[in-house]
């Protein structure tokens, strides 16, 4: 293995590895980038490139790479108890401690936790729980779940059906009883409306859908407080409070998917606290362990939990690795680090505002239609013409060109449609942000040159 070249690795990868969300023919032609190691905010590839990771892996490596505390937590837990199941009236100490910790950290009323390994599984769990809940309430016809276009809740058939990614639906992810409404995507839909009017309008799309389907058929509405994979869509102020009130009015469970927004990214431990929400259930994953090992969790509010506990009988659901002791130990060490390093306050008071101010000047670039950020989430929308704005046609080509320029200059970002997306580690320093913005500006310039040359 030592004398293998990057090309050897690429060829082997292409020969046997079908990677997620990948166009296989395209990847085989281009070859993958082989990531060999990572340290703090940088990843390194087998060609010796050092790349600033403005995506925190995939929205998850919140405390940065190489944190010894997490390595040690995993290692001692593996030595003490690497695995035991929680199925048959057994439990383990890390998972008990983590459950108490999550109940304390999350908003009031979320006091119970169900564990899984991925955000997708957590959301599948929620789907089963809410439908079971309504059956126990004597309303088994309340089955339909409302999601949103561009919403992302995972890649299992159920979680992808609940999400609003059309391309995923078209590949066998169309389970029954899921409907979708338009997202509060100001860049596309706000026009000349005031923030308050747009918040009310976007919330009215939920009420319209409820009236169309009938509240007595609707189990729940699920929303990411800030839509991540859909393009870092930041809702207008008030929108989330409106949709929560609409859910209460029609007795529909209100579920927040905080897989990205949880654990400090918005400047509070959870976006529900940032936006003043009291959800019935909450999805957690990614940042729960900073991605060092897989773990996800469903926070279950008292209304649903009480019903399941008192009248539910056995809940026929769970995964071999639900409440895995090593994952729980890493999650606990991760939460300790976030607290010890003051990352939540740092984003609220320091790096969140700093990021917004640092990105602001890019709005003047001829390619940029909108710059938006919230806490440590950001998006830069690229447009053909700022007036309008006029989008590129087809959508998605220019975004990839700009993303590739950024990566080639040492910055890992993602493109969603024609937006550049950022979700850096929560430990990002102002100097990292400056470095990121310098490369973004250069990538925008090069993209503009490419377009002009065409």
Ligand X SMILES: *Cc1c(COP(=O)(O)O)cnc(C)c1O
Query: Interface residues with ligand X (CB under 6 A)?
Result: 59, 118-120, 123, 152-154, 224, 228-229, 257, 259-260, 285-286
Strands 411-412 and 50-53: parallel
* CA proximity to 36, closest of 72, 9, 16: 9
Shortest gap between Cβ of 294 and ligand X (angstroms)? 7
Instruction: Please check whether residue 54 is in contact with residue 411, taking contact to mean a CB–CB distance below 8 angstroms.
Output: yes
Return the HEC string of 359-417: HHHHHHCCCEEEEEEECCEEEEEECCECCCCECCCCCCHHHHHHHHHHHHCCEECEEEC
Of 229 and 246, CB closest to ligand X: 229
For 66, half-sphere exposure in the C-beta direction (CA atoms, 13 angstrom radius) is 9
- Residue 126 vs 391, nearer CB to ligand X: 126
**Smallest gap from residue 164 Cβ to ligand X (A):** 12
Q: How far apart are CA 423 and CA 54, in angstroms?
A: 6
**DSSP for 247-307, written as a single string:** HHHTT-EEEEE-TTTTTTTTSSSSHHHHHT---SEEEE-GGGTTTSS--EEEEEEHHHHHH
Q: Which is nearer to ligand X, 244 or 257 (CB)?
A: 257
Cα–Cα distance measured from residue 280 to residue 183, given in angstroms and rounded to the nearest whole number: 20
Minimum CB distance to ligand X, residue 123 (Å): 6
- The three-point CA angle 327-322-109 to 5° equals 90
CA 62 to chain centre: 12
Question: 286 vs 346, which CB is nearer to ligand X?
Answer: 286
Q: Which is nearer to ligand X, 105 or 122 (CB)?
A: 122
Nearer to ligand X, 201 or 233 (CB): 233
Q: How far is the CB of 61 from ligand X (least distance, A)?
A: 13
Closest residue to bound ligand X by CB: 119
Rg (C-alpha) for the chain, rounded Å, is 22
CA proximity to 129, closest of 288, 244, 282: 282
Task: For ligand X, give the closer residue by CB, 224 or 418.
Answer: 224
Give me the least distance between CB of 47 and ligand X, in Å please: 28
- Min dist CB 337 to ligand X, Å, is 21
Compute the least distance from the CB of residue 159 to ligand X, in Å. 7
Question: Is 138 in contact with 213 (CB distance < 8 Å)?
Answer: no
CA separation for the pair 72, 216 (Å, rounded): 51
- CA dist 20 and 290 (Å) reads 20
Query: d(Cα 303, Cα 255) in Å, to the nearest integer?
Result: 13
Question: How far is residue 407 CA from its own chain's centroid?
Answer: 21
Work out how close the CB of 87 gets to ligand X at its nearest, in angstroms, rounded to a whole number: 22
Smallest distance, ligand X to C-beta of residue 62, A: 13
The residue among 258 and 381 lying less far from ligand X, judged by its C-beta, is 258
Q: Is 140 helix (H, G, I), strand (E, B) or coil?
A: coil
Asked if 301 and 279 touch (Cβ cutoff 8 Å), the reply is yes
**Residue 369 or 375 with smaller CB distance to ligand X:** 375
Closest approach, Cβ 163 to ligand X, in A, equals 8
**Shorter beta-carbon distance to ligand X: residue 231 or 369:** 231
């Amino acid at each position: 293995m030592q004398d293998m070249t990057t090309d050897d690795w690429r060829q082997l990868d292409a020969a046997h590895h079908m990677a997620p969300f990948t166009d296989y023919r395209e990847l085989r032609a281009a070859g993958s980038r082989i990531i060999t190691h990572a340290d703090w905010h940088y990843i390194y590839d087998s060609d010796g490139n050092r790349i600033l990771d403005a995506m925190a892996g995939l929205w998850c490596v919140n405390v940065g790479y190489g944190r010894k505390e997490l390595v040690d937590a995993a290692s001692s837990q593996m030595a003490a108890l690497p695995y035991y199941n929680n199925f048959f009236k057994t439990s383990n100490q890390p998972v008990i401690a983590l459950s108490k910790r999550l109940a304390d950290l999350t908003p009031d009323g979320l006091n119970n936790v169900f564990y899984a390994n991925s955000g997708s599984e957590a959301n599948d769990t929620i789907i089963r729980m809410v439908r079971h809940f309504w059956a126990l309430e004597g309303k088994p016809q309340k089955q339909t779940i409302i999601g949103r276009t561009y919403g992302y809740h995972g890649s299992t058939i159920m979680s992808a059906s609940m999400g609003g990614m059309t391309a995923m639906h078209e590949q066998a992810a169309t389970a029954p009883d899921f409907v979708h409404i338009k997202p509060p995507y100001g860049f596309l839909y706000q026009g000349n409306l005031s923030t308050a009017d747009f918040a009310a309008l976007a919330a009215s799309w939920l009420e319209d859908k409820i009236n169309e389907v009938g509240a007595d058929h609707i189990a729940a509405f699920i929303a990411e407080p800030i839509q991540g994979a859909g393009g870092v869509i930041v809702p207008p102020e008030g929108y989330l409070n409106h949709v929560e009130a609409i859910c209460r009015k029609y007795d529909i469970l209100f579920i927040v998917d905080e897989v990205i927004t949880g654990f400090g990214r918005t400047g509070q431990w959870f976006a529900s606290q940032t936006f003043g929400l009291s959800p019935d259930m909450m999805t957690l994953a990614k940042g729960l362990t900073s991605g060092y090992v897989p773990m996800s969790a469903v926070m279950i509010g008292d209304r649903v939990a009480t019903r399941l506990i008192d009248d539910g009988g056995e809940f026929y659901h769970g995964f071999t690795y639900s409440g895995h002791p090593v994952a729980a130990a890493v999650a606990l060490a991760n939460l300790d680090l976030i607290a010890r390093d003051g990352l939540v306050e740092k984003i609220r008071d320091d790096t969140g505002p700093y990021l917004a101010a640092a990105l602001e000047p890019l709005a003047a670039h001829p390619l940029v239609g909108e710059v938006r950020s919230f806490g440590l989430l950001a998006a830069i929308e690229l447009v053909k013409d700022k007036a309008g704005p006029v989008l590129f046609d087809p959508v998605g080509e220019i975004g990839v060109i700009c993303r590739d320029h950024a990566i080639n200059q040492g910055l890992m970002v993602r493109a969603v449609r024609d937006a550049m997306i950022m979700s850096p580690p929560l430990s990002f320093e102002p100097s990292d942000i400056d470095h990121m913005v310098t490369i973004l500006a250069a990538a925008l310039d090069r993209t503009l040159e490419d377009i002009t040359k065409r």
